[in-house]
Structure 1
Amino acid sequence: MVVLPFSCGVCCRHGQIRRPATAPVSTGVEQNRIRLAARAAFRPPAVPARLPPPAAPHKSVLETPPAWLHHRPMPSAKYNAACVKQRRIDRLHRCEPARTALLVVDMQHGFLDAGASLAVPKGRDIIPAIRRLIACCRAVGAPVVFTQFVYSTAVPCLRGDPFGLEHLPAPDGQPTGFGRPSGNCLVGPEAGRGAESADLVPELAPLPGELIVASHCYDKFLDTPLDLALRSRGITHLIVTGVTTDICVNCTVLAAANRNYRVTVATDGVATLDDTIQASCLSIWERKFARLRTVGQLVTELKGEDAGGS
């Protein structure tokens, strides 16, 4: 009888069966029986269907962990470390009047009025919250800056054709509305009027001397004096409000963060058309770009009534 080496790597590795030094050559049926027996003897370790939820951190680590932490299964030690990191972010982004400015983005007729081709109905709902924050900033001496999106046929950028046909001049006698040239936020000889006007809504009217930054772009820092105006006043922290969350507000938040401003977004002071998009933007900002706070929390913080932000 001829003898050849025989081994079962899988089973021997797990110590399920003893590896013989040699094994006799047998028929194909016998070899198949040996293989099946070896497979039956091997039982891989059980793998849990999902990771267990992380242990909750001690309250002294972080009273209110950010929502994004709850969507990431992770060991409790890593979870607590993330909370400590978030607490440091919160402390460094704390708003104090001497170094903080409030930015009110594009709260104008063309985006808020009923009947406007680009109306954001939820934008009107945030007006009271923004008014409260504006009043607080004025009371404590923090600058308030307004931005105003404008479109001009003299600057025929992509914000008009093809992405914003509503900003193009409305042809005489032609229907207007969403998806059609309507003169929305148009300036110049053919400026939009009434619901399509680029003017800021009267409920949030700037005071004399407060800066209004007109911009042809979604990013309110691009090709405007906004950055110079803020740095000239020693501003390092920004509170951002306005519409729309996913377009002009989003571009401005990212631009501010990339310019090393410490950004806080008032979660009940921004609005867009879709709740899912709103939630996605807030989640993205909180991870890498901004701190999130409600208007009530910011008012308390600016007035110094929050026990030092601990």
Structure 2
Amino acid sequence: MGKTALIVIDMINTYDHPDAELLLPSVSVVVPRVVSLLDRARQSDVPVIYVNDNFGEWRSHHGELLDKALAGPHASLVEPLRPDDSSLFIVKARHSIFYETPLGYLLAQQGIDHLVLCGQVTEQCVLYSALDAHIRHLDVTVPRDAVAHIHHDLAEAALRMMERNMNVRVCSCDDLWPR
């Protein structure tokens, strides 16, 4: 493995979408773990890259997305995850962090070949992103306690698929970077 980046998927969120009520309990559990990963990554000089859905707002940039999420009823889930000045931010339109985004180019430019994926949703965006990373010959780690799900059974199946079919290392947050 070469250089690692922490990828935070879709955590800047208004939770104004179908399935949000099913997702929110899992997000509430995951947020402190993602905060811990962010702190530890930054302390270890691991680049942090947020890749976030644009919610169909084609004029959006990360400031708009963050402001909108912080103005919503679930701001307490977003505030602790606020990007800092060293964080990079890519807006995506679909499930995969790679689909129609400059992420592949950015990773190549930075010499990054190992991704730690955290965020939401395990059985959707995290799964599809892990697959797209795998087909690009990138190493992937998914800390199971730092990914939120809508359906627990599908999330467990997605993690098993990632591990078995994509050579993803599935571990806990405690297994990453010094505490």
State whether TM-score is above 0.5. yes
* Partner of residue 175 from structure 2, selected from 297, 301, 309: 297
Q: Counterparts in 2 of 1:22-41, with a 5 A limit?
A: none
- SS of structure 2 residue aligned to 1:242: strand
**Contact residue 117 and residue 196 of structure 1 kept, 8 A:** no
The higher radius of gyration belongs to 1
Separation in 2 of the partners of 1:217 and 1:195?
24
Separation in 1 of the partners of 2:41 and 2:87?
12
State the identity %: 27
Alignment match, 1:230: 107
Alignment match, 1:141: 45
Change in Cα spacing, 1:153 to 1:108, as seen in structure 2 (3 Å) is: closer
Higher RCO, 1 vs 2 (CA within 8 Å, ≥6 residues apart):
2
- SS of structure 2 residue aligned to 1:222: coil
* Residue 196 of structure 1, CA deviation: 8.4
Deviations 1:236-264, CA, capped at 9 Å, x for gaps: 11100010111111111111111111001
Change in Cα spacing, 1:194 to 1:299, as seen in structure 2 (3 Å) is: same
* Residue 117 of structure 1, CA deviation: 3.5
Separation in 1 of the partners of 2:140 and 2:57?
33
Alignment match, 2:31: 127
Matched AA of 2:3? R
Separation in 1 of the partners of 2:86 and 2:42?
12
Separation in 2 of the partners of 1:152 and 1:141?
33
More helix by share: 2
* Residue 154 of structure 1, CA deviation: 5.9
* Partner of residue 117 from structure 1, selected from 1, 4, 17: 17
Matched AA of 1:271? A
Alignment match, 1:81: none
**Structure 1 moving runs of 4+ over 4 Å:** none
**Contact residue 12 and residue 78 of structure 2 kept, 8 A:** yes
Unaligned runs of 5+ in 2: none
Deviations 1:14-63, CA, capped at 9 Å, x for gaps: xxxxxxxxxxxxxxxxxxxxxxxxxxxxxxxxxxxxxxxxxxxxxxxxxx
Change in Cα spacing, 1:153 to 1:292, as seen in structure 2 (3 Å) is: closer
Alignment match, 1:204: 81
Matched AA of 1:246? E
Alpha carbon RMSD of aligned pairs, Å? 2.5
**Contact residue 109 and residue 195 of structure 1 kept, 8 A:** no
Deviations 1:265-284, CA, capped at 9 Å, x for gaps: 01100011221111101110
* Residue 127 of structure 1, CA deviation: 0.7
Give the structure-1-normalised TM-score. 0.49
Matched AA of 2:45? G
Separation in 1 of the partners of 2:80 and 2:103?
23
* Residue 299 of structure 1, CA deviation: 2.7
Unaligned runs of 5+ in 1: 1-92, 156-186, 304-310
